[in-house]
Amino acid sequence: MSVKVAHELESETVRAVSSEDFPALEEKIYKTIELLKSAREAKASAERDANRLRDQLEQREEELDLMRTEVVSLRKEREEVRGRVEKMLKQIDQLVTEG
């Protein structure tokens, strides 16, 4: 097949495809563009949600650390108070037994 014949065949094929299927192809391209826009919007929304959730998680972790520290402090304070109360009770017992 000569180059001229191949070129003519290609031109006829392109004309046939372009004149018959161009509206359908154009519609598919526009649909693809809309799908791409929607996918990009969904991705951006998902990224915003993920960032918001990461921020919330960090905040909760900080709150948890503060609460743990507070619990440890309260337990120490409770033990100190318990020790002081026991000491006072012993002194009261001694006074009662002496008296």
Mean pLDDT in order along the chain per 10 residues (99 residues): 61 61 89 96 98 98 98 98 96 88
| pLDDT of res. 15 | 61
Sign of CA dihedral 51, 52, 55, 57: negative
Side-chain-facing half-sphere of 9: CA atoms under 13 Å: 6
What spatial distance separates the first Cα and last Cα of the chain, rounded to whole Å? 129
- Listed in sequence order, the residues at least 6 apart from 66 whose beta carbon sits closer than 8 Å to its beta carbon are none
pTM above 0.75, yes or no: no
| pLDDT of res. 42 | 97
